[in-house]
Amino acid sequence: MDNKKILAIISAIAKKIESEKDFLTELDNEIGDGDHGINLARGFKSVEEKLPTLADKDIGAILKGVGMQLVSTVGGASGPLYGTAFMKAGNACKGKSQLTDAEFASAINAAIEGIKMRGKAVEGEKTMLDALCPAYKALKDGIDSGKNLIDALKDGVDAAAAGVEYTKTIIATKGRASYLKERSLGHQDPGATSSLFILQSTLEVLRGA
Amino acid sequence: MKKLINSVEAVEEQMILGLVKSAPKKLRKLEGGNIVVRADKKENKVALVSGGGSGHEPAHGGFVGKGMLDCAVAGAVFTSPTPDKIFEGIQAVATDAGVLCIVKNYTGDVMNFEMAMELASDEDIKVAHVVVNDDVAVQDSLYTTGRRGVAGTILVHKIAGAKAEEGATLEEVKAVAEKVIANVRTMGMAISPCTVPAAGKPGFELAEDEVEIGIGIHGEPGTHRDKIASADEIAKTLLDKILADIDYKNQEVVVMINGMGATPLMELYIINNFVQDYLAAAGVKVYDTMVGNYMTSIEMAGFSITLLRLDDELKKLYDAPADTPALKR
């Protein structure tokens, strides 16, 4: 994976988030404050505008630039969380212009660790981690067992989708949905859903190559 | 959506500009951000910085001025401001005495303020923070996000602001802010929802005969839905929850009856009429009462009740002078 591919992925994520903006906001209306789609779309739009200035940078610098842009434009909780995720992933790819499959997986792990640190959250609390953690595990298992990146990431996306379904069955203990207690049951988590979209967009770009 | 706005994108900035133009001798907006500071930077005192999403007016920009905040940073409607903007605010008002950030306990606010304070510390700015969590609707536990910061935040601004104005150290100002937080409790409800301009439709829907109890200040649904009842009955529901949380008996308190934005003063006074009698019967001594819109949720209809338990120090600081657009004393 090279920096061109990373740029294409970021661009695909931005488009996906824009097209799912209303759906994410709708989900957030149910159990949050109804701005997840609006905030993320605003952030990724500004990321897309910034991408040309990152085009000739290495992968670490691109991801870090994306993270900083998200932090300064999204706001709310998702800004620091996704921003920190991209910044930590960038840190894991510092100076690299190519990533092996294992390095790609490590970058995703670094992103997840960043989200845990910033959000003081773990799996099972009805957050984006409920999509991301199982996705990483499936991806890593796939790569370790010799699958190619596309197949391994496909496993990851499936695991993330299952994770999103799982969020319907649990009560939120982190984030704004936690104020609803058992009323958050039956609703899928908007953050887990946007995380699934990010992984899906990544897979679509890799498949298209 | 029916609102008196010019464009969804311009809501926050035009609101801040309008606020500043309402008190041009006292307030100033920083270039390039929805950040309100005092027109004249105050030196030799701890600087107080607060902020959060827009839509809570007069909070927080309306509480910038002598005796209260030095700076308020406004994010998009119901969305925490970003770390770079909070950092700009901190930098603009920082003094050698340090900066105290007053943060409401919402995940986004806490994370964005933490990142901003990391940036400030990197620049050798002395910075500390307190997190306000006065909302008794939410259960407090180690394993949850914890209670929300709502209308009680205004009393933290007032009292910590007075302490800072006296020239107290950062540690002392923080300690008194913590004391307010330990003694202030709030519970709110809504009878009609609000619409975030960018979303264009209400955050939740209520039938004609329904109310939402335990609401926060972001149009998010509350803890449960009830059938509409009389003002007295609803006020009693909220007050009982507050009185059960900490012991107010034989204590002196400040009462705040806070409107959510669309509730007329007429109704707030009707509620206050009950609250005063009910507190008297419960043996709670009311030192002072504030009735009005202090921490709103755009055009939500509803109210919250806040009680602050006082001691001599808090009483003195509560009474100290303040000169801000939304609170004068």
Q: Which residues of B touch A173 (CB under 8 A)?
A: 143-145
Q: Identify the structural domains of chain A with CATH numbers, from first to last.
A: 3-208 (1.25.40.340)
What is the pLDDT at residue B140?
A: 63
Find the closest chain A residue to B141 by CA distance: A173
CATH number for the region B184-317 comes to 3.30.1180.20
Residues 229-268 of chain B whose Cβ lies under 8 A from any Cβ of chain A? none
**According to CATH, where is 3.40.50.10440 located in chain B?**
8-182
The residue annotated as part of the active site, out of B56, B60, B129, B157, is: B56
What is the pLDDT at residue B326?
A: 98
The residue annotated as part of the active site, out of B60, B129, B157, B218, is: B218
* Residue A69 contacts B where some CB pair is shorter than 8 Å: no
What is the pLDDT at residue B218?
A: 83
Interface contact flag, B75 A34, Cβ < 8 Å: no
Which of B1, B82, B205 is most worth mutating to test chain A (most A CB atoms within 10 A of its CB)? B82
Token digits for B140?
């407090």
Q: Is the pLDDT of residue A114 over 70?
A: yes
CB atoms within 10 A of CB A74: 31
What is the pLDDT at residue A88?
A: 95
Measure in Å the smallest separation between the Cα of B117 and chain A Cα atoms: 13
What is the pLDDT at residue B156?
A: 98
What is the pLDDT at residue B143?
A: 56
pLDDT-based confidence at residue A122 (cuts at 50, 70, 90): very high
Q: Is the pLDDT of residue A34 over 90?
A: no
Q: Which of the four CATH numbers 2.60.40.1180, 1.10.8.50, 3.40.50.10440, 1.10.10.10 does domain B8-182 have?
A: 3.40.50.10440
* Catalytic residue status for B56: yes
This model's pTM is above 0.90: no
Residues 180-199 of chain A whose Cβ lies under 8 A from any Cβ of chain B? 180-181, 183
Find the closest chain A residue to B195 by CA distance: A34
Interface contact flag, B196 A34, Cβ < 8 Å: yes
A39 phi and psi, to 5 degrees? -65, -45
Do residues A152 and A159 make contact, with C-beta atoms less than 8 angstroms apart? no
Q: Which residues of A touch B143 (CB under 8 A)?
A: 173
Q: Is the pLDDT of residue A176 over 80?
A: no
When pLDDT is averaged across residues A47-55 and rounded to a whole number, the result is: 95
A42, A73, A174 ranked by CB distance to B107: nearest:
A174
More confident residue, A105 or A34: A105
Interface contact flag, B108 A73, Cβ < 8 Å: no
**According to CATH, where is 3.30.1180.20 located in chain B?**
184-317
Q: Is the pLDDT of residue A209 over 80?
A: no
Q: Is the dihedral of CA B253, B258, B264, B265 positive or negative?
A: positive
Sheet holding B127-132, edge to edge: B27-29, B35-38, B71-77, B47-54, B99-104, B127-132
Q: Mean pLDDT for each 10-residue chunk of chain B (329 residues)?
A: 95 98 97 95 95 97 98 94 96 98 94 94 95 88 76 98 98 98 97 91 88 86 88 97 96 98 98 98 98 97 98 98 97
B202 phi and psi, to 5 degrees? -60, 150
Q: Is the pLDDT of residue A151 over 70?
A: yes
